[in-house]
Amino acid sequence: MVTTWPPLPRLEGAAELLDRPDNSDEEIRESLRDLERLNRYFGGVRTVLVHLGRMVGEPSQRSLTILDIATGGADIPRAICRWARNRKLTVAIEAVDRGDKVLAAATEWSIDFPEIRLRRVEAPPLPYQDRSVDYVIASLFFHHLTEMEGILLLREMARVARRGLLVNDLLRSRLACLLTALATRLLSGNRLTRHDGPMSVLRGFRPQELRRMATTAGLADVQLSHHPWFRIALTKEIAR
Write out pLDDT tens, residues 88-125. Answer: 999 999 999 999 999 999 999 999 999 999 999 999 99
Distance separating alpha carbons of residues 105 and 102, to the nearest angstrom: 5
Q: Are 180 and 201 in contact (CB under 8 A)?
A: yes
DSSP state of 98: S
Q: Provide the domain limits for residue 74.
A: 23-172+206-237
| Phi, psi for residue 53 in degrees, rounded to 5 | -60, -40
Q: What is the pLDDT of residues 142-188, one digit of tens each?
A: 999 999 999 999 999 999 999 999 999 999 999 999 999 999 999 99
Q: Where are the beta strands (DSSP E) in the chain?
A: 64-69, 91-97, 116-120, 133-139, 161-170, 223-227, 231-237
Among 60-64, 94-98, 141-145, 219-223, the least confident range: 60-64
Contact 164, 143 (CB under 8 A): no
Residue 151 belongs to domain with CATH number: 3.40.50.150
C-alpha distances (whole Å) from 204 to each of 16, 21, 116, 129, 140 are 13, 23, 28, 29, 9
Residue 9 within any structural domain of the chain: no
Q: Hey, what's the torsion of the CAs at 197, 23, 70, 33, to 10 degrees?
A: -60
Q: Is residue 195 part of a domain?
A: no
Number of structural domains (the chain) is 1
Mean per-residue pLDDT, 48-61: 88
1 pLDDT tier (thresholds 50, 70, 90): very low
Nearest-angstrom CA–CA distance, 187 and 229: 15
- Strands 91-97, 116-120: pairing kind: parallel
Which DSSP letter does residue 48 get?
A: H
Give the whole-angstrom CA distance, residue 118 versus residue 109: 11
Residue 89 lies in a domain: yes
Q: Is residue 90 part of a domain?
A: yes
Q: What is the mean pLDDT of residues 21-46?
A: 95
Residue 16 in any domain: the answer is no
Asked, for residue 11, whether it belongs to a domain, the answer is no
Q: Is residue 2 part of a domain?
A: no
Contact between 210 and 236 under an 8 Å Cβ cutoff? The reply is no
Identify whether 179 is part of a domain: no
CA distances, 33 to each of 16, 30, 227, 230 (Å): 16, 5, 22, 20
Helix, strand, or coil (residue 190)? coil
